Amino acid sequence: LEKADTLKNMNLPKGTLVMIVKRKSKFLVPNGTLKLHAGDKLLLISEKENEVKSEE
């Protein structure tokens, strides 16, 4: 997370949307300035050509 501490700094493929961020028991509506924390889970939607691999 050091290199991408906010959503806008993440290197996601074009056409990828972050729909929701789950932090512990809370669900957050994301925006570009949301600071990510270790353990956050992201729900992504992407075009098939831009498939994003899960990192668990």
User: Nearest Cα to 41, choosing from 54, 22, 56, 24?
Assistant: 22
Q: Which domain holds residue 27?
A: 1-36
- How many structural domains is the chain composed of? 1
pTM: 0.74
Which band of pLDDT confidence, cut at 50, 70 and 90, is reported for residue 13? confident
Structural domain includes residue 55? no
pLDDT in tens, 15-29: 889 999 999 999 999
Residue 5 pLDDT: 87
Separation of CA 5 from chain center: 10
Specify burial of residue 54 (Cβ count, 10 A radius: 0-12, 13-18, 19+): exposed
